[in-house]
Amino acid sequence: MVDRFSVNNLVQTYNDKIFKEIVKYEDDLADILIYFIDIPGIDLDQYSIEVEEVTFINFTQTNVEKIEADKIIKLVHKRTGNYTYLHLEFQSKVDYMMPFRINHYRTNLWAQYFNKTNSTQSGVSRRQARAPQIISVVIYLGSGNWTAADNVDELLGFDNTVISPRATFKEVSAINKAFYEKCKQQASNPIYSVINLSDEELIANKCFFSAMVYVVQSKTSKQFADKILHVISDWGFEHEHLFRFIKFVYALLDKNSNEYSLIINALSQRNKKDVIKMFVSVQDEAEARGEAKGEARGEARGIEIGKVEVYYNDLEWSPEQIAQKLDMDIEHVNEIISKF
């Protein structure tokens, strides 16, 4: 994959946080469900939608470390009250452990359901021994194809072929290919589906969610800037949605970055002074929140600490970017961040 220009180091964190934030808005969540996710056997008109925060024990950790699934959505049948879980995973890159992660989420979610319904007691009837269906969907935000397995059985077992130290690269590749083909033959039913949206699909449904995915999937600095300008100029967003779009995109932009200069220069050439003011307003708003947080602390350097907190937590800036912006020593910035 091509190096993701100067925002490369922020993309993963950006996606994890921003897209979780997006699906908290009912309109954005409805757009995702209506335009991009096909749920077999589910007529959304017959269901109400609830969002449930769920934390699980991280199966890759030996200590009691909690993690949060990206989002668990409950589709509640309006007449019966029965519900189906919809689990959305936002991924910036291919994760070959995804089948194990999804399987872990599902097992923990069912365990929590049984605990809530007191179905863990002995003597449960056949009718009671049921659980909600869980539909897991990976929304792939990266470029290229999703190449991870979609089931656990395909990843079970090891290759016991003894490879000679004198084997050529071609011979080793052939052995590995034969093993993976054998694994595919033992594949079970998929436990999740993947949505890998093209630019054409995103442009066809000009909603806020598709605009964010459209920008995040950029491969070069110029494409990143061009896509932001395309959304600003041609997607027809109302002022409120346009300002929100700029606010979210701003999380990836350093004022001194190449992308920021490209965008501002292009907007100036197109006489988009109102949009330039929005970029400035986002930064002013961030600084104002930082000052307010600092003053609320009542500390001697509270404003400075508040600004660091907002730039780091809200705008996802790196310590280096914060130090440059606030003209601070990088060690001092890291010291402040370590206390959050």
Classify 118 in phi/psi space as left (phi over 0), alpha (psi -120 to 50) or beta.
Answer: left
Q: Is the pLDDT confidence value at 5 over 60?
A: no
Q: Is the pLDDT confidence value at 170 over 80?
A: yes
For the stretch 243-285, pLDDT in tens is: 888 877 776 665 666 666 777 777 677 667 777 677 666 666 6
Lowest mean pLDDT among 144-158, 171-185, 247-261: 247-261
Lowest mean pLDDT among 26-35, 229-238, 288-297: 288-297
Helices (H) and strands (E) in the chain, counts: 13, 7
Q: Is the pLDDT confidence value at 226 over 60?
A: yes
Domain ranges of the chain: 5-152+191-195, 156-187, 220-337
Among candidate residues 78, 2, 10, the one with its CA nearest the CA of residue 320: 10
CB of 205 closer than 8 Å to CB of 33: no
d(C-alpha 187, C-alpha 251), whole Å: 40
Among candidate residues 229, 255, 259, 225, the one with its CA nearest the CA of residue 242: 229
Q: Is the pLDDT confidence value at 73 over 90?
A: no
Q: Is the pLDDT confidence value at 199 over 50?
A: yes
Work out the average pLDDT over 144-156.
91
For the chain, the average pLDDT equals 78
For the stretch 6-57, pLDDT in tens is: 444 455 556 666 777 777 777 888 888 888 888 878 888 898 888 877 776 6
Angle at 200 between CA 197 and CA 206, to 5 degrees: 90
* Higher pLDDT, residue 262 or 218: 218
CB of 293 closer than 8 Å to CB of 314: no
**Given this model, what pLDDT does residue 141 score?**
84
Q: Is the pLDDT confidence value at 192 over 90?
A: yes
Helix axes 330-337, 302-309, angle to 10 degrees: 80
**Given this model, what pLDDT does residue 3 score?**
42
Classify each residue of 227-266 as buried b or exposed e, where b means 16 or more C-beta atoms within 10 Å of its C-beta. Answer: bbbbbbeebebeeeebbbbbbbbbbbbbeebebbebbbeb
Work out the average pLDDT over 83-89.
89
Angle at 139 between CA 51 and CA 154, to 5 degrees: 110
